Every structure is written in structure tokens, then in C-alpha cells.
Structure 1
Amino acid sequence: MRGLVQDRFFLALLAALVAFGVYQPGRIPSFGKLIDWPTLAALTGLLLLTKGLEISGALHSAGRTLIESMATERAVALFLVATAAALSTVLTNDVALFVVVPLTLGICRLTGMPAVKMVIFEALAVNAGSALTPIGNPQNLFIWQRANVPFDEFVWHQLPLVACLMVLLLAFAAYAFKARPLQALEHETSALDSRLLALSLALYVPFLVATDMHQAGWATAAVFLLFLMLRPRVVAELDWGLLLVFALMFIDLRLLAGLESVNRLMLSLALQKPENLYFAGIGASQLVSNVPAAIVLAEFSSDWRVTAYSVNVGGFGLMIGSLANLIALRMTGDSRSWIAFHRYSVPALLLAVVIGYGLLFLS
């Protein structure tokens, strides 16, 4: 938590909250209602379970096995990027990160590979991969349920975009990571806590099932209490700052989306035109992230095909474009990782915009 005072993104969110409080003092008592508590509860539970796996030493052991089976840094990078993308199609983008990023950080500690760069590519990978299915990310789930179209129709529509993005991303990763031989550093050792590993794995599936049944609050409370009683270190080492950042994001973004000037702007964009809708979704994602952007756009257009492309493309670019970006960068533990992130994500956005436009309007 002490690191928050040096976290510029947190400080910006806090400053925005203070500004909204000054501008709309009458809404201060209702700020807490703007937080999506089920989402925050689910995030807390996932963080606890992932921290349990990390502390158990299982990810360290898995990292060593992966290092021994692959010859170069490039091979590891391509494997992790592809794995993150594949997992995101079925586990959602944030859950995929909770699985892959701790493993990645362990591998980077063992080999000296650049951890921040690797995690950045994984964030880009889950943004691309999760765009494929209706359950890959929250914005797709919202669009799919609202459009009421078959699962396979949604996937078939998204497939060309995702295929193009993944080919480019893998090529980009192959260029960014060199074919240097892997060498494990011998000073890093970690004993396996088999009981903590068993507890974390045993809780994982029931937690996901309970969350899918809209019981995230009770499921997280149960996970929290079990770890508090059996392994209090997991609770003590949790990134509580990340949860605070997410709470502030919910409040700030929803206050921003509710401003009358924002609504007037949306009405002036003539969103009945598909091209306008496409660029509006991308732009809105850069301002309020792609999930709120999808929700706002649904009030002005029923064109789910263009909306799905626009908000998924909008996950690239600025860090705020997708909440998965924030999760990944926070997990690196590097307060300056957002600077490096934009060196890769902004070019990725420009390429994705062109690809999406071509597939929608020129093919």
C-alpha cells in the first residue's frame, strides 16, 4: 500500500475523484454505489487464489520445467503469448492474466528475461485473444447478451479480426525477443508448499462456478476466511492497492460517463453511421475503457458487429483502454511499467484500427 503514494495512475484517479467531489458535492454520499461490487469481489477472490499459487512455489516449479523444455527466450515468449491468448478465449482476459503473469514473473526471475516487456505482450495477447468469444471479456458478454445472437455466429464474426491481430502480435513478439539461449540463475530456489497448493487449486473451480452464479461476494468471503485461518501470509501479501485503484476507476469513469456534456457529445456523433460508431467506440475506450464504452454505445446503436470490433480494438492504445492492461501492469510491481506499455500498445492500436476498418468496411 505504501507504493500507492508513488503510483501516478492512482494519484491521477484520486485527483479526479476530488475534482468530481468539488464539482458535484451532492453526489459524494452515493459514490460507493458507483462501484461494481460483484466485479471487485471477484477480483479479490482471484487475487487471493493466485497469490496462494504463487506463495506455494508451484509457479516457480512450473517455470523451471518450461525453461528446461525450451531453448531460447524467443521460444518462451511466443509460448507465453500464445498461452495467454488461448486461455483468454475461455477464462476471460483477466483470469488468463492471473494464471500467466505470476508464472511469467517467476520465469523472468529465474532467467533474467525482461519481465515488464513480457507482461506487456501478454496484456496485448489477452486483449486480442479474448475478442474471439462472447465469454472472453466483459464487453463481449454484454454485447452478446444484448444482441441475442448464437455463440458460433459471434465467434465467426470476430474470427478474422482476432486471426489478423494474433499473427501480427506473434510476429511482433518474435522480433522483440531475441533467440538468446536460456540460462537459469542458480541463486533462485523455492520450496513447494504442497498443502497451500492443494488448497488454492481446490478452491479455484468452486470459486469460478460460484462467481458465474453471481455469488462472488460469498465465494470471496469464504476464500478470504480460509486463507486467513490456514495461510494468513496470503492475505497479508495481497495487492490491496490494486483493489483500491479499481474502486476509484469505477467511481471516476461512471461519473465521467454520466456528465451531460458527455451525453451531448455522443448524440452529436451520428452513431447510426457504422464508420462513426466504429471510431467512437475506439475513442471512448481510450477515455473510459472498453467495458463502459460498450455500455454507453449500446444506448445509441444496436449494431453489435461494429460495436464488438470497435471496443475490442479500443482495448489497445492507452493503458485505460482495457482493465486487463491495468491488472497486468500492476502485477509487474514496476510503477514505471506504464511508460514501456505505451511504446508497444499505441502502435498496436494503430495497426488494429486499420485492420478492423478494412475487415468491416473494405472487404
Structure 2
Amino acid sequence: MSNAASSRPAPSTDAAPAGEAGGNGLLWVLVAVAIVFAFFRPRAPLDYLKLVDWQTVGALAGLLVITQGVERSGMLQATAQRLLGKVTDLRSLALLLTAGAALLSALVTNDVSLFLLVPLTRVLATQAHLPLARLVVLEALAVNAGSALTPIGNPQNLYLWHRSGDSFLGFMAMMAPTVAVMLFWLLVAVWLLVPRTPIALKPAAEAASVQPRLLSLAGLLFVAFVIALDQHWLLAGLGLVFGAFLLLYPRVLRGVDWALLAIIALMFVDLRQLAELPAIASQLKQWPIAEGWRAYLAAIATSQVISNVPAAILLDGPVRDLPALAAGVSVGGFGCVLGSLANLIALRLAALPRGLREFHKISIPFLLVCAATALLLRLG
């Protein structure tokens, strides 16, 4: 196994952009919803732009370009070869990838961990016969679970942490029981869904040259871009990333999945308009969701419709039980693909033609068991 893996040349890095491979069905659905809102609830053009969280869209744009640079450098192909030389069966590989996704998401946010691991998983699937869709779905579940542990793991935690006034470790202690439940069921899911069968390598493909200069540039830009984001210098960071690649490696920009950015922008436009509907606002005032299991279930249900970050912001007023709200929006990241932005990013990065179907086959049952177990834990 090890010798075969190490002697195989890497495949070509000139793959189709993720959007071309994965289709843009969701994009057209979001466009149609935006048109319906524009017809029934028109607003000024600039008001639509204000609905978009441009910090999030801009951050993802920079990360998409940098990730494309890393992928075209050939580093992922070389890493995949070494990994396939050491891991002998599918289940061990799945455990390694999901554990890495969960750990990274708690440290560097769920989105960044996906930008690091999903492209690697896709390259692994070009070198060996792997259940790519299943692995990517499990990674999406892993980042939603792992990122829930720390205040910096995802946007909703960061928002709720600032609102709570709790310490960093205090917030982690509050989230630990829910995260333990999610990670337990993640381990069960990997064990049941990924067999312990030997990894079968694909026939050798044409060798791809590794470009250390491109890899070094992408690494330096990643560090600089993260610093720029931390200092709220988004435009300067984007100018540096796009300017460097446009000047030195313009082919990288042509491979970016620009449709993903359009989808994310339209999600903000559509979901925020949905949350503003008077019928929804009035229902929130009437429902007895201030605390306890009702608050927890309301957070899960709302996340399925408008995603967990907007759900945390929307329910922060009517819900007074912050631990229930934080647990609910964390578990609510499972289930529907709209439950968490990380779900959408994972599927688009993996370029899966029927990724939505595979995602919901796994994620909806996962939501049900996690939600029920975490609820029983809270009631107990």
C-alpha cells in the first residue's frame, strides 16, 4: 500500500471550477426568491446592498482565491500521496479527516477549516476510490460540531459570547455538554457510514509539477489576509490578494468559484428579508420561547429556515435563555443545508453534482438524534 501510493504521480491540477462541476441550482432558486420579494416588497436598490454582510462575502472571496492558489501549486496532491501512503483503510481516513475538521474549526473557525480540508479531500478522491460526497458531508458535520465549542469557532458563538459577557473558558464550559453530544454522534456516524475496507488506488495519472513559489505566495497571503481581517482591513487585504495573483498568477483567478459568492450574497438578501416579514416578527412575540426547551427547539427550527447566524441574532430578543439559544443554533446547523453557511461552502468546494441529496440523507437524521439527545441532556 505504502509503496504503491508513494510511486503514483499526482493528477493534473487544472480541474473545472467547483461551480461548473457542482451546478448552480441553488443559485437560481435564490434568484427566484429575490425576484418574488422584489415584486411583493420592493425597496430601493441600495437597500438590497445593505442586506448583504460584505465582511463575510469579502472574507470568503479572499479565502477562495488563496485556496485556489494552494490547489494549483500541487501541494494538496503531494499531501494526498503521503496520506494515502500511511492510512490503509477508509474508516481510518474518515476518522482522521473529521477529527481534523472538528479540531481546526474550534481554533480557526469552521469556514477556514473547510477551505483547508475539503480541497484536500477532493484531491484524495482523484487518487483513490473514495466516497467523496460522504466524506465531505461528514466534514461539514464535524466543523459545525467542533466550532460550537469556542467563542471564536463560528459567527453565532462570537455574537452570543459578546452578548453574554462570560469569559472565554466560561463560554466553553457552557457549550461543552452540547458539543460532546454532537461529537459522540459524529463518531457513530463515521463508524456506521464508512466501512473499514482497504483504500483502492486509481490508475496513475499524469504527474503534476509542484510550484513552491505559488505555494509560498499563497501561504504568505493567507497570513497577511487573516491579519487584515483581524484588524478590520478587509479592502486592503482583498487588494493585496487579488493584486498579487492578478500580477503573478492570473490563472488562479479564473479557477475561482465565483458563483459561490453570488449564492452567499443572495442568501443574506433572501433570508434577512424573510426574517423581516411582519408575520414572522409577530409570531416570535406570541410564542412562549423565552427559555428552556422551547427556546432550544425554536432556535433549531429557525436555523433550518434562515441559517443559524441570523437565527441567533433574530432570537436574541425574545429568548432570554442564552445557553438554550447557543445550544439550539449550534445543533440547528445540521439538518437543512441552509442551517449553516459552512454546509454550503463544503458542498461547493467539493464540486458535488448531487451533493444536496447526499447531504440531506445524512444531515437530517443526524439533526434528529443530536437534537433529541442534547434536549434530554438539558432536561436531565
User: What TM-score comes out, normalization by structure 1 length?
Assistant: 0.96
Q: 2:94, 2:328 → 1: CA distance?
A: 28
Q: Name the counterpart of 2:66.
A: 49
Deviation at 1:74, TM superposition (A): 1.1
Query: What are the Cα deviations for residues 259-293 of structure 1, in whole angstroms up to 9, with x where unaligned?
Result: 11110111111222322111110000000000000
Q: Could you tell me which amino acid in structure 2 is paired with residue 169 of structure 1?
A: L
1:26 aligned counterpart, secondary structure: coil
In the aligned structure 1, how far is the partner of 2:316 from the partner of 2:207? 51
Instruction: Tell me the SS of whatever aligns to 1:262.
Output: helix
Establish whether residue 11 from structure 1 lines up as the match of residue 59 from structure 2: no
State, as a whole percentage, how many aligned pairs show the same letter. Answer: 40
Deviation at 1:6, TM superposition (A): 4.9
Residue 166 of structure 1 is aligned with which of 166, 183, 194? 183
CA–CA separation in structure 1 for the residues paired with 2:125 and 2:22? 27
C-alpha distance in 1, partners of 2:63/2:216?
16
- 1:72·1:181 contact (CA, 8 Å) conserved in 2? yes
Given candidates 267, 271, 276, the residue that maps to 1:249 is 267
State yes or no: 1:350 paired with 2:368.
yes
Residue 65 of structure 1 corresponds to which residue in structure 2? 82
Residue 127 of structure 1 pairs with residue 144 of structure 2: yes
SS of the aligned residue for 1:59 comes to helix
Q: Does structure 1 retain, via aligned residues, the 8 Å contact 2:246–2:253?
A: yes
1:200 aligns with 2:223: no
* In structure 1, distance between residues paired with 2:42 and 2:181: 47
Q: CA separation in 2, counterparts of 1:41 and 1:4?
A: 23
| Residue 154 of structure 2, aligned match among 137, 149, 152 | 137
Q: CA deviation at 1:157?
A: 1.4
Pairing 1:191–2:191 present:
no
Taking structure 2 as the reference length, the TM-score comes to 0.92
* 1:90 equivalenced with 2:118 (yes/no): no
1:110·1:188 contact (CA, 8 Å) conserved in 2? Answer: no
Report 1:260-271 matches (<5 A): 260-271=278-289
- Offset from partner CA, 1:159-180 (integer Å, 9 cap, x none): 1221221122122112211222
CA contact (8 A) 2:22 2:353 kept: no
Question: How much does 1:303 deviate?
Answer: 2.0
Structure 2: distance between partners of 1:4 and 1:108 = 15
Structure 2 unaligned segments of length 5 or more: list them: 1-16
Q: Provide the residue aligned with 2:354 in structure 1.
A: 336
Cα distance between partner residues in 2 of 1:146 and 1:354: 27
In structure 2, distance between residues paired with 1:6 and 1:329: 11
Q: Is the 8 A contact 1:38 1:217 kept in 2?
A: no
Superposed CA deviations along residues 164-210 of structure 1, whole A, max 9, x for unmatched, are: 21122122112211222123322253210111000001111121111
Which residue number corresponds to residue 79 of structure 1?
96
Secondary structure class of the residue paired with 2:151: coil
Q: Which has the higher contact order (CA 8 A, sep 6+)?
A: 2
Greater shift after overlay, 71-80 or 164-173?
164-173
CA-based RMSD: 1.5
Other structure's SS at 1:25 match: coil
